[in-house]
Chain A
């Protein structure tokens, strides 16, 4: 078992039933939930891998693939939505060939969908790592992606 997992499990020894906080903690540390992580969590909490996976896949917050080099978030909050956020998302999906929650096969980008960055004035908004790209249009998508 990887050292990180063993460390995390130590602090959950008393509450083995708390699968969700455990999943969160593991994802925080490893960036995603690997097959190995799910298997070790299952062993640790005395339930099956499928059960752990079932719980994890119920929540959008968990990822089963490693995060890409860059995190790419497209906002679909109210303001962005009204100004065409979903078109931006669709374009990004098409360009990268991944769905929200997924990572490109070259592990360059991980795509996520978020609800409001708090800069609605710039809607629609797309954020790559820490760079905020406001007033997005579908034609700008490709250029921006090319910069990373």
Chain B
């Protein structure tokens, strides 16, 4: 339908394939073109149910559509889930087709319901190919393709496999691209058009995808990313397309995993107070008075607050202010301890800032992408699309991962190193780069310091040693080193596989060294990019929900800073840094912490050595849990405060690329739940605290801007128009998407000499296998949200331990057998999945499942000396068949 007339050209070229040139005259709407379009359309409609399309009474049956659409077979628009938003309808109107004279054939194909989230009715398909293209070209999946040809041509899978067998990731991109009712989201199928649409941010991961929540009768009916092409046409007042992290894409969690958890019947609707071991419902006044009264008795370091990477910036700011100004302690931390504390510590020392150096969209334009310790397609699906984009533009891909992740099939080099040998691997690469003269010494000379000490430490990493420790053949290390050093700009992407080690900070230093050595930092499309896990983990760190810094990484142990905050908040503050998360649990055991305020966290599942954590929580005299569900940890609480979900409140999240984005209230709070910021303020005020009189989160942001240099230019008015990456020091600033241009934040980039340290726990006779943990695409963190979503549970109902066939044979284990995984800390029972994805000697579990919680097995005793990160990625285990 994109045919046009161009003066001086013969025939009717298609607009989308004809390059525009100066001076050409294009006509898009002449009687002749419209006639041709009508003819084409008529042909298309011979295989598409068109009765309603050309019916002259179509308005008159609208009142009955509720009854009519319940039929199983769609034979006209009135029975079609796409009615009202169908592009085919629009085209028919536009070209004015009034009649289809050619004979009609109904394809009579069965409706395919193999996806838990959408139906495929290829009787309605017009073979436009959009779904195929988005799946292959944008998503890089290719689950569907055109099959057969001529009149048999159809969109389908190889051998009619189910979508799951065909590798579908259930991202829903095809559904959103489909112009007709052929692909329809099942849950929203008969909902019709929304009453209103609110643009907000996905609450799951750190990518921070912009999503449109479609609302009808105070219910979210669907959550859809905004396609670029449609963005301008939709009546969206508050939509900022410039600088979205996701460019109209999302993943299964954001696309299909939101409605069910927000509207889940198990949402907490009333405050709960535990009496004689039983929860009973209470009013807000009752519970807030009780909390305020109790907390008066636990001021100082006997109190600890665990804030959350799931709540907004404003709420994190208030929670740390509450702990510091009201409770008089710096015992405040959150789950970043368990993901990127080594990044913050390491990158701050090396560069002066602990965040991603470049925006997500830079990855797609890099000439070489080095992905280490990140299963990007599972953990950060939308960032994997950028990796895919880079590859289709000809970039080289290096993947370093012990497991065969999806990205490996595109990799030019796949380094399958042993878990825990990252320092050796990276130093080995740097050794090659130095020896072969591939280093950017001019950059090192001009921009960096401490190079000689670093160079000295490279001596220990001759490739024979590196090969032995990492089990990666020398040739591959050399190839990877050459690629990374010569294909510029090169970018490094990493995640938990680097940080969750007892020497996680060293791993981060190694990465920083590598980037500086080749000059791949402080420039577009290069950089060091730690992918943050939770939706607002970056924000929670920025807001100072950390024991050693105030907001904006201003150090607790600096008396000037302390003075600044004492003046600003009008209270005196504790000069001693507080305890980190794992230290808090130890301190509860030793009886020094007696009360805890837990906001939106579920440490019983997410902490290393879960048993130890659970016992600690039980030992507390007073535990407040504030959450949207009664999580495993909340069950242990003295009082439970029901919080609003992200869809029921205003605020901001800061995503992994430091982009500050507006979260908008879309629906009324569920039951009597309240926004976290309101709850914190109420408790503070009842305890006589000053500076908690906020009526709206925008006021909290004004306060944040005053004391946080990087957020100085951020306010809600601006966020309606622009999306800003911090640092954004003043209202003129448009933010800083790329850090360290010209000079590092700390001045000079600092090299760190390194030595190889084996993981704290290596396999031995009794525990011969290495257990490593990770995330699946379908679940999120401890599963409090995702495991409430039917379709996500359907796709991945239970945990499993992945075992290499060679190990499985030795243990006599078959696919699906029940097995016991045993470590020095405990044991869990789960199913075995025998797969080549795990190398011999290494087994893998994801940590989302309470009933087979991987973190019962991991160790909390050996912490990273700098960042206090427990070794979550490497523990020694053995497996027994049960």
* Contact code string A42-57 (vs B, CB < 8 Å = 1, else 0): 0100111111111101
Q: Distance in Å from the Cβ of B605 to the closest Cβ of chain A?
A: 34
Number of interface residues of B (CB under 8 A): 19
**A35: B residues at CB distance < 8 A:** 158-159
Among A43, A47, A48, A57, point to the contact of B147 (Cβ < 8 A): A57
Find out whether the CB atom of B141 lies under 8 angstroms from the CB atom of A48. Answer: yes
Q: Is the interface of A mostly helix, strand, loop or mixed?
A: helix
Find out whether the CB atom of B166 lies under 8 angstroms from the CB atom of A50. Answer: yes
Find out whether the CB atom of B148 lies under 8 angstroms from the CB atom of A50. Answer: no
Q: Distance in Å from the Cβ of B676 to the closest Cβ of chain A?
A: 43
Is B167 an interface position by the 8 A CB rule?
yes
Is B85 an interface position by the 8 A CB rule?
no
**Bound: A50/B157 CA distance, A:** 5
Q: Distance in Å from the Cβ of B76 to the closest Cβ of chain A?
A: 30
CB contacts under 8 Å to B, within A24-56, are 35, 38, 43, 46-55
Find out whether the CB atom of A52 lies under 8 angstroms from the CB atom of B409. Answer: no
**Bound: A35/B166 CA distance, A:** 12
Find out whether the CB atom of B410 lies under 8 angstroms from the CB atom of A46. Answer: yes
Find out whether the CB atom of B159 lies under 8 angstroms from the CB atom of A47. Answer: no
CB contact under 8 A between A51 and B409, given known A35-B159, A38-B158: no
**Bound: A38/B147 CA distance, A:** 14
Nearest chain-B residue to A35 (Cβ)? B159
**B143: A residues at CB distance < 8 A:** 48, 50
**Bound: A58/B166 CA distance, A:** 18
Which of B142, B144, B410 has the largest number of chain A CB atoms within 10 A? B142
CB contact under 8 A between A51 and B145, given known A43-B409, A46-B409: yes
Number of A-B contacts (CB under 8 A): 55
Find out whether the CB atom of B136 lies under 8 angstroms from the CB atom of A48. Answer: yes
**Bound: A95/B145 CA distance, A:** 34
Is A12 an interface position by the 8 A CB rule?
no
Is A64 an interface position by the 8 A CB rule?
yes
Is B146 an interface position by the 8 A CB rule?
yes
Is B568 an interface position by the 8 A CB rule?
no
**Bound: A53/B146 CA distance, A:** 9
CB contacts under 8 Å to B, within A65-116, are none
**Bound: A55/B231 CA distance, A:** 34
**A51: B residues at CB distance < 8 A:** 136, 142, 145
Is B149 an interface position by the 8 A CB rule?
yes
* Contact code string B677-700 (vs A, CB < 8 Å = 1, else 0): 000000000000000000000000
**Bound: A49/B141 CA distance, A:** 10
Is B465 an interface position by the 8 A CB rule?
no
Find out whether the CB atom of A50 lies under 8 angstroms from the CB atom of B144. Answer: yes
CB contacts under 8 Å to A, within B126-148, are 136, 141-148
CB contacts under 8 Å to A, within B152-191, are 156-159, 161, 166-167
CB contacts under 8 Å to A, within B313-346, are none
**B146: A residues at CB distance < 8 A:** 54, 58
Find out whether the CB atom of B157 lies under 8 angstroms from the CB atom of A57. Answer: no
**B144: A residues at CB distance < 8 A:** 50
List 12 additional A-B contacts (Cβ < 8 Å) besides A48-B143, A48-B145.
A35-B158, A47-B136, A47-B142, A48-B158, A50-B147, A50-B166, A53-B158, A53-B159, A54-B146, A54-B158, A55-B145, A64-B159
The 14 sampled A-B contact pairs (Cβ below 8 Å) are A35-B159, A38-B158, A38-B159, A43-B409, A48-B142, A49-B161, A50-B143, A50-B147, A50-B158, A50-B161, A54-B158, A55-B145, A57-B148, A57-B149
Interface residue ranges, B against A (CB under 8 Å): 136, 141-149, 156-159, 161, 166-167, 409-410
Interface residue ranges, A against B (CB under 8 Å): 35, 38, 43, 46-55, 57-58, 64
